Structure 1
Amino acid sequence: MIIKGERMGRPTMNDVARSAGVSLKTVSRVVNGEATVDPALAARVRAAVASLGYRPNLGASMLRRNDRRTRTIGVLLEDVSNPFSAAVNRAIEDESRGRGVHVLTGSLDEDPVRERDLAVAFARRHADGLILAPTAPDQGYLATDWQPGTPVVFVDRPPTGYRGDAVLATNRSGTAEAVRHLVARGHRRIAFLGDAPRIATARSRRQGYRDAMREAGLPTCETVAPDCGAEAATLALLTLPARPTALFTAQNLITIGALRALRRLALQHRVALIGFDDFPLADLLDPPVTVVAQDPVAMGRAAARALFERIDGHTEEPREISIRTMLIPRGSGELLPA
């Protein structure tokens, strides 16, 4: 049975305009996130949209817009469940919301195939731009698989084989500062637990460790300790005849594994530890964990602003934007050699 006046099927923009008592153009401007609509009219449109259950057709909306934009961007990070990636992503979302832009996010899990597949998927959705923390050894595929003329900004790690703005922490100098901090407290056997060498940030942090150890005339002791095996790698170091008196862990999940090993051997108050990347509750442990803190919020904001500048027509040469790290002494990095 059809009741007179009742529309069947999916509500349209015309239905919203009639319900709100405004023009079709006003509805279009509100739906597309334009900020120039009178607030009272915009509120009426949004109320009508909610009442009718209207859902815009993004493909058709893009075709009607003069600038051909979809008001969406893609964000591909290593692992959005990681506190660092989560903070970067939230900062990008906050910057995007003020521009009426929606964020599509994916986790790469250090999988080069997944990086390319997700980038292609976002391209097919006609995203206006992409923020990418590279996992693949080469981003040259973007020249053919990404949308021509659509900007890409890299965050946390620099690109290879493709040119674009890159927002990077001061990985090398931040690590060197932390190792010098340990040397200044009398440590001479300082071990480095790092991530896989194929990762650009891992290589930079390893080089910072080597810089500081060479300056001090000390021998290096380096171990690759991916987060899934960090506890075992630390246990192996700590059971050596001449065990390290201090550890530098090159990312937060490795730090957590090292802390488990130290506590397992009851050495958390005898072996100093500094970790790269802060993590939740690090200041509440015993002893509190000294870290080289990145600023993921600043990195996310800088990446989003760089991307929107490119979307708006900025055409100058690609830039490297450096975000400084900060050494935060809390206790674990201030232990003296036993």
Structure 2
Amino acid sequence: MAANRRPTLADVAREVGVSAKTVSRVLNEDGPASAETRQQVLAAVAKLGFQPNLMARNIRVGGPDTTIGLVIPDLGNPFFGAVARSIEDTVRERGLTLLMGSSADDPARERDLTDKFLARRVSVLMVVPSVGADHSHLKAHRTRGLPVVFLDRPGAGLSTDSVVSSNRTGAHEGVAHLVAHGHRRIGFVGDLPTKLYTRRERLAGYREALREAGIPYDRSLVANAHDQHGASLVTSQLLGLDDPPTALFAGNNIVALGTVTELARSKRKDVALVTFDDVELAEALEPALTVVAQDAEDIGRAAATTALARLDGDRSRARTITVPTRLIIRGSGERPAPRGGNGPGR
């Protein structure tokens, strides 16, 4: 068997010296087989790294299933939903079907989902890595030819293809836009956990923009939240500082919703706002929301195209594809800094 090919039912049968039908009976516990044969089959399965195909329990299917397994953090997040739709649209042309599950950003849950997808013998595995997850368990599958693609964030413990946004550059551009409108007290409302790759990159872009403008980094202007309610609370805390920010940069679409909610509740029309990620109905707000938009469609398409190229035999080195972001000016980020102070109405 070639080293870069995933083992099949026929490979196991050849290793043991029995028929494929016998191997199938052992694995599916679906017919007579001696204890010795059963032991030999299971030993060959372990030796070859064979993953039984739960999607097709007949001996005619020895290769990968015609599915792609996708693990994302949150099925309800519009960004990941758009990425998934783009992947599905791209692979459908090749007769592949997308299977999807949510990890809730939990490494154990992510591992469980990837194991289940591997048991189904998916043709491609795509993962948005959870913070703290170790992906070294995928090395053997990757070596045998399974295309593995990380989305949105790099993985750990495995060198493979990744598709990410230009997080640092995008955040830098958004904060520099606020600086250009006279703001020097700029708050950052980021995601949790703080070790999250996208959060770290966007905070780095925020700090770079401040440094380039000669504005000292002020830790008191950095807050974190993982949901809309939490973002609303920390926004309120930032606005309540003795020397509050005159502008805010929200680190993602979920955080942005909480920030917008608090600005509306507190009637703070003087505070400028730029968010990372576009938000549904952003143009319907008053003023409309200035955003650093990720291209979810391009991210999904790039991931799918990369995976399909691997299926077609591309054995080049693993690469990281960075999809550019785009600053969309709509009004909320163009509010000028108040003259002579940072408080409301000054």
Given that 1:123 and 1:146 are in contact with CA atoms closer than 8 Å, whether structure 2 keeps it comes out as no
| CA shift digits 1:97-141 (9 cap, x unpaired) | 111111110112111111111000100111111111111423223
- Once the two structures are overlaid, the 10-residue window that deviates more, 146-155 or 228-237, is 146-155
Residues 101, 206 of structure 1: alpha-carbon distance in 2 compared, 3 angstrom cutoff: same
1:81 alignment partner in structure 2: 76
Specify the code of the residue in structure 2 equivalent to 1:299: I
**Using the alignment, how far apart are the partners of 2:198 and 2:239 within structure 1?**
25
Residue 280 of structure 1 aligns to a residue in which SS? Answer: coil
2:241 alignment partner in structure 1: 240
Residue 90 of structure 2 aligns to a residue in which SS? Answer: helix
* Superposition deviation, residue 60 in structure 1: 4.6
**Using the alignment, how far apart are the partners of 2:66 and 2:143 within structure 1?**
15
**Using the alignment, how far apart are the partners of 2:202 and 2:55 within structure 1?**
43
Given that 1:190 and 1:248 are in contact with CA atoms closer than 8 Å, whether structure 2 keeps it comes out as yes
Given that 2:288 and 2:330 are in contact with CA atoms closer than 8 Å, whether structure 1 keeps it comes out as yes
**Using the alignment, how far apart are the partners of 1:76 and 1:266 within structure 2?**
40
1:167 alignment partner in structure 2: 163
**Using the alignment, how far apart are the partners of 2:209 and 2:143 within structure 1?**
43
* Superposition deviation, residue 206 in structure 1: 0.5
Residue 292 of structure 1 aligns to a residue in which SS? Answer: strand
Matches within 5 A, 1:111-260: 111-137=106-132, 138-143=134-139, 148-195=144-191, 196-220=193-217, 221-227=221-227, 228-260=229-261
Count of residue pairs the alignment pairs up: 279
| CA shift digits 1:308-332 (9 cap, x unpaired) | 1112211100011111000001000
Given that 2:238 and 2:244 are in contact with CA atoms closer than 8 Å, whether structure 1 keeps it comes out as yes
Given that 1:113 and 1:136 are in contact with CA atoms closer than 8 Å, whether structure 2 keeps it comes out as no
Given that 1:175 and 1:209 are in contact with CA atoms closer than 8 Å, whether structure 2 keeps it comes out as yes
TM-score (ref. length: structure 1) = 0.79
Specify the code of the residue in structure 2 equivalent to 1:282: A
1:295 paired to 2:295: yes
- Once the two structures are overlaid, the 10-residue window that deviates more, 176-185 or 226-235, is 226-235
Matches within 5 A, 1:8-19: none
* Superposition deviation, residue 58 in structure 1: 4.2
Residue 81 of structure 2 aligns to a residue in which SS? Answer: helix
Given that 2:142 and 2:148 are in contact with CA atoms closer than 8 Å, whether structure 1 keeps it comes out as no
| CA shift digits 1:237-283 (9 cap, x unpaired) | 0011111000001000000001111111100x210000000021011
**Using the alignment, how far apart are the partners of 1:58 and 1:199 within structure 2?**
34
**Using the alignment, how far apart are the partners of 2:236 and 2:288 within structure 1?**
20
**Using the alignment, how far apart are the partners of 1:209 and 1:120 within structure 2?**
38
Gaps of 5+ in 1: 1-56
Residue 65 of structure 2 aligns to a residue in which SS? Answer: coil
Given that 2:176 and 2:209 are in contact with CA atoms closer than 8 Å, whether structure 1 keeps it comes out as yes
Given that 1:123 and 1:147 are in contact with CA atoms closer than 8 Å, whether structure 2 keeps it comes out as no
1:335 alignment partner in structure 2: 335
- Runs of 4+ in structure 1 deviating by more than 6 angstroms, as ranges, are none
**Using the alignment, how far apart are the partners of 1:172 and 1:139 within structure 2?**
24
Specify the code of the residue in structure 2 equivalent to 1:171: N
Specify the code of the residue in structure 2 equivalent to 1:310: R
TM-score (ref. length: structure 2) = 0.77
Gaps of 5+ in 2: 1-53, 339-346
1:11 alignment partner in structure 2: none
Given that 2:131 and 2:196 are in contact with CA atoms closer than 8 Å, whether structure 1 keeps it comes out as no
Matches within 5 A, 1:251-270: 251-267=252-268, 269-270=269-270
**Using the alignment, how far apart are the partners of 1:244 and 1:251 within structure 2?**
19
Residue 130 of structure 2 aligns to a residue in which SS? Answer: coil
Question: In percent, how many aligned pairs have the same letter?
Answer: 44
Given that 1:192 and 1:247 are in contact with CA atoms closer than 8 Å, whether structure 2 keeps it comes out as yes
2:86 alignment partner in structure 1: 91
* Superposition deviation, residue 202 in structure 1: 0.7
* Superposition deviation, residue 143 in structure 1: 2.7
Residue 141 of structure 1 aligns to a residue in which SS? Answer: helix
| CA shift digits 1:6-27 (9 cap, x unpaired) | xxxxxxxxxxxxxxxxxxxxxx
